[in-house]
Amino acid sequence: MNKKQALLQILTTRKRGLINHRLPDEYQQIEYIENTDGCYIQTNIVPSVDTNCEIDFEVSVNDDNCNVIMGSSNTYSGAPAYIIGLDPYTGASKIFWIRVGDSIAINIFQSTAITHLRHKIRYENKKLFINEEEQTLWNQPNLTESLAENPIAIFIRRQYRGYYPTSGHTKLGKLYYCRFWGDVEAELIPCYRKSDDKTGLYDKVSGTFYTNNGSGNFVRGSII
């Protein structure tokens, strides 16, 4: 890329409101990674109720096959857990489904369908925000078990040394950004590795590059 092309890319990025995270030269940042098939990412991130999280995403399909955008749990029923998703029942396209710790699921109703719209969910200091609006929690998050054996997975839920759903379905949609802070630190940036053209998420904190653990291939957003 020459200087003129580089300048044009910077100006285009600023105009679209995108952030250039200045990744190592080996990696090329992209706007998002999109799962259109059976892709998912398994991280090494072990959350607790004190783990703050921000995730920027867009869901393309909501169905019974997979309701989890990002998740970790020790049981099939989902508690104790750290999950962000949509209501798992068909037709419930306006309901976010959040579970943190041992508590029952928190259903957050929206005025419009969630699918095909970009949303930001932030869980910070045991408070929940959707698109910067604070939500009412049903109860105070509490976690009596460690999730150490089931680190966070994205586009699917990691549970009791396996995945949910076990049939291999994954949540279809785009991930623009994901960050964890507090007792766990990670900042996940969509990108691809230039040396082998692998697409995934680069953790700016640990320097780890997470690639697809499922089937198919991620669709890439535009270069940033």
Confidence of residue 125 (pLDDT cuts 50, 70, 90): confident
Tens digit of each residue's pLDDT (9 = 90 or more) over 26-67: 999 999 999 988 899 999 999 887 889 999 998 887 665 566
The domain that holds 31 is classified in CATH as: 2.60.120.200
- Looking at the domain assignment, is residue 7 inside a domain? no
Residue type, 2: N
Q: What angle do CA 165, 168, 169 make, to 5 degrees?
A: 75
Closest CA to 219 of 187, 184, 192, 196: 192
The 10 Å Cβ neighbour count of residue 3 is 7
Structural domain tally of the chain? 1
The 10 Å Cβ neighbour count of residue 128 is 20
- Looking at the domain assignment, is residue 5 inside a domain? no
For the full predicted model, state whether its pTM sits above 0.85. no
- Looking at the domain assignment, is residue 183 inside a domain? yes
- Looking at the domain assignment, is residue 10 inside a domain? no
Could you tell me where the beta strands, DSSP code E, fall in 24-125? 27-29, 33-35, 41-42, 51-59, 68-73, 81-86, 95-101, 106-109, 118-124
- Looking at the domain assignment, is residue 135 inside a domain? yes
- Looking at the domain assignment, is residue 127 inside a domain? yes
Determine the average pLDDT of the residues in 138-163: 77
Instruction: Identify the domain containing residue 109 by its residue range.
Output: 21-220
> Which tokens go with 161?
């040394």
Residue type, 118: R
- Looking at the domain assignment, is residue 15 inside a domain? no
- Looking at the domain assignment, is residue 149 inside a domain? yes
Tens digit of each residue's pLDDT (9 = 90 or more) over 81-90: 777 776 655 4
